[in-house]
Structure 1
């Protein structure tokens, strides 16, 4: 119910056109995929075109995640993302999950990010609910892993029947409706991957007919792309691919850490995050999927990640030119413009660039041959990345020891 004054003077006569209400990244990819020319010029022909800042931000994001070149041409990754009817960052996360044999957990996290967090925080039991969520995170410093573990445990409880799934949600401050939606979205993502040629499925229905054997076949295909599902370092690296450029710098102080981002400056971790009460951060970086603004800017769902995870999966690498005197034999490179800079031995930088180049080549080969088996063709690349991530983890443990 509303007043006539509100209807006549404050309500819009028509709903805003969809082009002005929704993110432009998917549309930009479609424009390039259909070879419709310059994105800004094409969108400028619309009856009610988006503002230039929104267009520039969309193009810049696609460049940052490696979907477009600076000349606004689709990369191999961009070609694949254009074929996926999902947000490009979510699409990139899912593709990386398939390529690196980590698809099952990535599907759950991607579904949670696409829909909503399954955790509920009742005001009268907030501290207990926060503690339960931290238990699901299991020491990983990751809200995303907390969602993954909560979903997996719910599935196990539900499989026992007798309303155990519902009881599990009640005792662990979870929304069963949200978990069911995450389950449905996982299947939707599998359909998308199958249509894009990233999931090989036998669609036979078996002797009894119906859809159940079809689902089992998809589960078999899913397992073949999930052989590294329990590699936490790899999962966090793939989260970098799906959240970049949402990066937080961690400045560790003696008593507590301070946080900042490139675009917002000082930020804080949201009280609902599993990292909110953490005093010491073993890594210098956090990636996040969303933020909110109230009394300040708060980073909500987030995950602490390593240097190599960010370097390997964090967008386009740019060389930094040496000034007079050089870098003492080291080579310097950057991410996010000049916001993130690293120095390393030239051979290390060359190795990182070679791994990223091999990933681009693998995606290009998949474009040329949709039947290409990624689990076979990408095995050497995956093993090299795993070794690099594990060596980073081992060296960090050595430093702490």
Structure 2
């Protein structure tokens, strides 16, 4: 699980920031901490990115290049061994590696996509569920990040209502993003449609470019483009095959508990499902099986 934590910056980073103030003209740098903090609490240098992030993509790339001895590989800044083990475990769970740590056929296909392994597994799995066209649209929209919708301060209610239209039928955020892309495509990629629905035009154009690249890569890994827009279950199965690490069970308290390494989590407020929880969608899913049991007892 990734999280944003507040950490002290390094002395090198502080000096680099101070240099900004006098770059193009006279300037001053005010530090919002004491000299004691600077000398005793800050590290000399920033921790390299490779030692702080998920290494699944790095490991998959190295394996596809034929480099199998990752422990003795000459990294410029060697990452912690625990991070390497976690990456290998994740790739094994995604069927990219076999029990001996060798690349599988699925792993070779995944390595062709310049994406997070979970996204690339989702695309590879879409071949089985005959919905690759829809899945690459979702992957492209996810690659853009959280910059699809915007909320002007003077029109927040209109923007929220426009967004709700894409979540009709209690669909999750992935299907909602697919609906956004398909509707934009039906309007012949209209800029005016984006303005009317409070959607960032630049982000949509970037998503279209990414999707075109992914479509070309489908041919490269010999996945036939297939479309199955009516079968949302097939699309959800393809998504779940890549993102099962993120699965969580709904508790009686209304919170969720992650399946792997149990931890209490909640739906993010920016999610389209947030307003249906816990009184709407989630509770409904809890009540339905109970109701069926009652019906059977009555009969």
* TM-score normalized by the length of structure 2: 0.73
Partner Cα distance (1:14, 1:265) in 2:
33
Aligned residue for 1:158, secondary structure, equals: coil
1:143 aligns with one of 151, 162, 173:
173
Partner Cα distance (1:270, 1:123) in 2:
21
- 1:118-267 aligned at under 5 Å gives the runs 118-158=148-188, 165-199=190-224, 222=225, 225-226=226-227, 228-252=228-252, 257-261=254-258, 262-263=260-261, 265-267=263-265
Cα deviation, residue 231, structure 1: 0.3
Matched, 1:36 2:33: no
| Structure 1 residues 22 and 267: alpha-carbon distance in aligned structure 2, compared to 1, 3 A threshold | closer
Partner Cα distance (2:90, 2:144) in 1:
21
| Structure 1 residues 260 and 129: alpha-carbon distance in aligned structure 2, compared to 1, 3 A threshold | farther
Aligned residue for 2:187, secondary structure, equals: helix
- Which shifted more, 119-128 or 15-24? 15-24
Aligned-pair Cα RMSD in Å:
3.3
Task: State the partner residue of 1:268.
Answer: 266
Cα deviation, residue 13, structure 1: 9.9
- 1:1-400 aligned at under 5 Å gives the runs 1-2=20-21, 19-20=50-51, 23-39=54-70, 41-43=71-73, 45-117=74-146, 118-158=148-188, 165-199=190-224, 222=225, 225-226=226-227, 228-252=228-252, 257-261=254-258, 262-263=260-261, 265-278=263-276, 279-280=279-280, 281=282, 282-283=284-285, 399=292
Partner Cα distance (1:249, 1:86) in 2:
27
Structure 1 unaligned segments of length 5 or more: list them. 160-164, 200-221, 285-394
Residue deviations 1:52-94 (CA, integer Å, cap 9, x gap): 2321221121122221234322233222212333221111111
Aligned residue for 2:269, secondary structure, equals: coil
Cα deviation, residue 270, structure 1: 1.7
How many aligned positions are there?
A: 254
Task: State the partner residue of 1:367.
Answer: none
Aligned residue for 1:149, secondary structure, equals: helix
- Which shifted more, 29-38 or 103-112? 29-38
Partner Cα distance (1:126, 1:28) in 2:
43
